[in-house]
Structure 1
Amino acid sequence: MAFSGNDKHTSLLGAGAATALATLISRVVGLARDASLAAMYPKEITDIFWAAFRVPNTFRNLFGEGASSVAFIPTFTRVRKERGEEQARALLNAVLRAVALATGAVTLAGVLLAPWIVRALLDFPPQLDSESLHQDAVHLVRWMFPYLILACLAAVIGGALNATGRFFAPAMTSTYFNLSIVLFSFLAVTTTAVHPAWLAVGVLVGGALQVATQLPSLWRAGFPLGRLRGWWTTPGLGDVFTLFFPATLSLGVKQINTLVNTNLASALGTGPISYLFYADRVAELPLGIFGFAIATAAFPRFSQEALEKAEEAIRKPLIQSLKGILLVMVPSTVGLWILGGPILDTLFNRGRFAAQGGLEPTLLALRVFVLGLVPFASVKLIGNLSYSLGNGRAPVVAGLASAGVNLVLAYSLRYTALGHAGLALAVVCASVVNMGGLLVCLRTRVRPAWFLDLVPLALRALAASAGMGVTLLAWIHWSHALPSWSVAALGTVLGGTVYCALGALLFREQLARVIRRRG
């Protein structure tokens, strides 16, 4: 059975809007989660928890992103078009079994090797009770490693739903995950002494919810889970693994960057891991709602158009998506730079976080992270295009180059006046290198001349953002007597209004297209 008309003509921006709405809900709940943890737990515990969580989460990014977004969707799309729904259903079930076996083996190894993993990951300075901190981290890693299995199964199911034009349910899974952690963090405070083990239980329950909440949508899409004999011989499974290994290598480079920076941050004492994490979470708010949503919605479209092998079929969704990224990420950079203080004060400056003086160092890291919003979103989009074209080499080469830049800059900048913000700057610079490397590697399929269409729009977006920035600076000056939440909320509305008004003068057609969610 071929693709239906609805699948073929799904609006790119409409799909992005569905993803953006669900992601907005998820990000708001996620920020509530982070705010509650920052207020209730001392930074020593949040440092350990976030560092320990990064271990299974790193493997989730490797296997989940590699198996679903990168390797699974293009193959699933091709099998569904060429072989029909029955073979696509068989491929989905086969990939789920393969992922369960692979992640189960990794989980077992991770539980056994947890002490050595933690030793490599964390490097607390000697003035702290490092042995006790390491033991707590080992226990948390062992508790949370099974989350890897659940999260990767959820990622594959979400990839299948995205490939069939269903974006809302997969994007909502993070909301249920965040709600679970919030619930168990409150249970920890109300029933016993504050202990991070409750957070680990919340992670596991959240992972189970990520799988369970997608199953109804999967059944409605005509892809129920079932038994499959000889699943390892299913047509298309080998193609998934062919794309999976270079994808894993490429994504692994990114995860190594994260682990290296976590290690370097831990050596700066207690606090920097949490400062960087909270700053990254706020910076990811527009990135997740708009930037990654656009890339997620574009990936199935890229996979479909790549089958046609028509240059124009690739150019149009790519340029359209990049224009959407510019229109949203440029003003988001300016807005978060100026309103970052009131936003962080509203979210985190209470309880233990306020008592331990975490606001200023988190704001410094946030202002560095937001400089990378455009390249962060572009790397996700162009990387997805590369895999849709069957080019697994480009992300690997670009990723290795960016890893080298991150490593050199992170080691060079961490003990400068920037401190932990130097690690954030290394991430931003590495992302710029990654974006440039992808474009160089794809120059035979993605022609440089295409990007000339973006220059006028980029300049106009910068002009409109500059006007918005001047307005927000005046607002910050005149609203200093107001509470932080009203400064942040009203400033966001004011900035958005000014940007849209200037946009109506400078790029009316593109702005109207985004607002109407039409492609």
Structure 2
Amino acid sequence: MFKAIFTNSFGILFSRILGFFRDLMTASALGANIYSDIFFVAFKLPNLFRRIFAEGAFTQAFIPAYAHSNNKSLFSAHIFLIFLSVILVITLLVNILPSLATQAIAVGFDAKTVAIASPLVAINFWYLPLIFGVTFLSAMLQYKRHFATTAFSTALLNISLILALYLSAEKSHAEIVYYLSFGVVIGGILQLLSHVIAIHQLGLLKPLCSGFKHLGAKAAKIKEESKKFKKQFFPAIWGNSTPQVSAFLDTFLASFLASGSISYLYYANRIFQLPLALFAIATSIALFPSIARYIKNHDERKARLYMEKAFWFLAYLLTASTIGGYILAHEIIWLLFERGSFNAADTANSAFVLQMYMIGLLPLGLQKLFLLWLYASEQQMRAAKIATFSLAFYIISAITLISYMGAAGLALAGTIGGFAGFILTVKAFGVKNFFSILAPKKVLYLIVGSVLFTIFIVVLKGFIDK
């Protein structure tokens, strides 16, 4: 278990280091202004659809269904063609009507800004079909317990964007965002090629091609399997889309705030996502195939044992990350971004947003772990209901807090929604089962360790500030 977690974590860390270097270069080149806002909006739209249709929902519905399938090559080929067709239609519509897509995610933009952003949205959206191919192949690799390719492949996107920034160093802001947009598409192509090579090396490419070849003649064999997958997938879409809907609403509401607010949310969220991805997401990806197999084989005892080990692993790491990230928020933003066009005011605003995000790191991270149980048990509908309540808490909080706290209020609203989602997920997992994990001795160690670590971070902050 831990080998797979560390493989994911190291790959994610490597990619995120490159990502922060990319963000550092972006902040220096563009700062926090209308052009940075335009690029982040253009890049956010395909990412919104990617996370809804591809990564989370697809993987969590596909792996259990793939595990149960008696005709894996036919089943995988059938599902791939259905999803790719839908995604290509969406991509073509966005390229035909890019201004409508831009206005949908950034209503606060004026007509001139929409005109500038629209062609960039159209270019960036071609990343979506490419990354769906990556997600599909990575799900097959995960089933075979191969995690390294997917974990490290995001680095290819970041390398592509870094090269785009390097090549556009002497260009205007308007030209830089075009270089970045084409860099996104090239990065997607590189990611897809790396996954094609990986499945070929593992002997999965030939069976998949065989599935495409015989799909027409043998489609009846997978009719029931496909029907069951679709039944599980659509609730999974909603369950996984609520964080993305929240991100969409963040951008929508922030577009009415002062210029740069979208960028403050972006930079702060990038830092917040590091421990979330490095620990919680890496652990969830590594555990999911095993948990799905154990539940399929009716071995809940072993599945719960894996859950307990992962819980304490995450509890210690996420608590430490929360304490460090909250107390040192200003220093982290200053160190990473304050240079070039990114000034001291941008640092202060981004740091406040980061603190509001960090409050929700522990519940959001642990919720991902407990959601594994629901998805592996094919309880996607229950997970979708939990996500709906979480989104409702976010919307109410966002509308209430935005007028008082601006962009930071939107971040805090996401945290409140995260707490609500965690409580409801624990209830679905079973309160009794949850408390059986909370060994008193380990809880005491966590409390004492948190107090000592807080003292250390406060002392470190005082030393840095001198």
Shorter-chain TM range is: over 0.9
Shift of 1:223: 0.4
The code of the aligned residue for 1:109 comes to: L
SS at the partner of 2:168?
helix
SS at the partner of 1:214?
helix
Contact 1:305 1:313 in 2 (8 A): yes
Shift of 1:384: 2.5
Pair 1:387-2:375 in alignment = yes
The code of the aligned residue for 1:465 comes to: S
Pair 1:203-2:184 in alignment = yes
Whole-Å separation in 2 of the counterparts to 1:141 and 1:379: 32
Shift of 1:218: 0.9
Deviation per residue, 1:194-234 (Å, 9 max, x gap): 43111110111111111111122211222015242325546
Give the one of 19, 22, 28 matched to 2:11.
Answer: 22
The code of the aligned residue for 1:404 comes to: A
Whole-Å separation in 2 of the counterparts to 1:458 and 1:344: 32
Shift of 1:145: 1.2
- Identity percentage over the alignment? 25
Give the one of 244, 249, 265 matched to 1:276.
Answer: 265
Whole-Å separation in 2 of the counterparts to 1:424 and 1:201: 30
Whole-Å separation in 2 of the counterparts to 1:253 and 1:233: 34
The code of the aligned residue for 2:38 comes to: I
Contact 2:138 2:195 in 1 (8 A): yes
Which residue is 1:183 aligned to? 163
Pair 1:332-2:321 in alignment = yes
Which residue is 1:4 aligned to? none
Which residue is 1:365 aligned to? 353
Moved more, 236-245 or 369-378: 236-245
Alpha carbons of 1:237 and 1:66: their partners in 2 closer, same or farther (altered >3 Å)? farther
TM-score, normalised relative to structure 1: 0.84
Whole-Å separation in 2 of the counterparts to 1:459 and 1:414: 37
Which residue is 2:76 aligned to? 92
Moved more, 435-444 or 461-470: 435-444
Structure ranking higher in helix proportion:
2
Pair 1:295-2:281 in alignment = no
Shift of 1:192: 6.3
Contact 1:70 1:243 in 2 (8 A): no
Whole-Å separation in 2 of the counterparts to 1:456 and 1:137: 55
Matches within 5 A, 1:302-317: 302-317=291-306
Alpha carbons of 1:408 and 1:192: their partners in 2 closer, same or farther (altered >3 Å)? closer
Contact 2:308 2:437 in 1 (8 A): yes
Alpha carbons of 1:431 and 1:67: their partners in 2 closer, same or farther (altered >3 Å)? closer
TM-score, normalised relative to structure 2: 0.93
Contact 2:58 2:233 in 1 (8 A): no
The code of the aligned residue for 2:446 comes to: A
Which residue is 1:64 aligned to? 54
Shift of 1:251: 1.8
Matches within 5 A, 1:230-249: 230=215, 233=220, 235=222, 236-249=225-238
Contact 1:294 1:324 in 2 (8 A): no
Give the one of 131, 146, 152 matched to 1:172.
Answer: 152
Which residue is 2:37 aligned to? 47
Pair 1:13-2:2 in alignment = yes
Deviation per residue, 1:21-47 (Å, 9 max, x gap): 100101101111111101101421111
Deviation per residue, 1:274-333 (Å, 9 max, x gap): 111111111111111111111111111111011122331331111221111101000111
Which residue is 2:214 aligned to? 229
Whole-Å separation in 1 of the counterparts to 2:102 and 2:347: 28
Pair 1:257-2:251 in alignment = no
Whole-Å separation in 2 of the counterparts to 1:221 and 1:234: 25
Whole-Å separation in 2 of the counterparts to 1:134 and 1:348: 27
Whole-Å separation in 2 of the counterparts to 1:67 and 1:279: 25
Moved more, 309-318 or 203-212: 309-318
Which residue is 1:163 aligned to? 143
Alpha carbons of 1:48 and 1:233: their partners in 2 closer, same or farther (altered >3 Å)? farther
Which residue is 1:77 aligned to? 67
Where do 4+ consecutive residues of structure 1 move more than 6 Å?
none
Deviation per residue, 1:113-157 (Å, 9 max, x gap): 4322322321437xxxx2211112221111111211011110111
Whole-Å separation in 1 of the counterparts to 2:156 and 2:370: 29
Give the one of 415, 428, 437 matched to 2:424.
Answer: 437
The code of the aligned residue for 1:475 comes to: L
Shift of 1:71: 1.1
Whole-Å separation in 2 of the counterparts to 1:334 and 1:191: 40
Which residue is 1:428 aligned to? 415
The code of the aligned residue for 1:250 comes to: G
The code of the aligned residue for 1:174 comes to: T
Contact 1:122 1:263 in 2 (8 A): yes
Give the one of 419, 435, 438 matched to 1:452.
Answer: 438
Whole-Å separation in 2 of the counterparts to 1:111 and 1:289: 34
Shift of 1:92: 2.8
**Structure 1 vs Structure 2 CA RMSD:** 2.0
Give the one of 465, 470, 474 matched to 2:450.
Answer: 465
Shift of 1:391: 0.5
Contact 2:87 2:128 in 1 (8 A): yes
The code of the aligned residue for 2:106 comes to: L
Whole-Å separation in 2 of the counterparts to 1:476 and 1:254: 32
Shift of 1:252: 2.4
Contact 2:74 2:215 in 1 (8 A): no
SS at the partner of 1:350?
coil
Contact 2:294 2:300 in 1 (8 A): no
Whole-Å separation in 1 of the counterparts to 2:247 and 2:437: 30
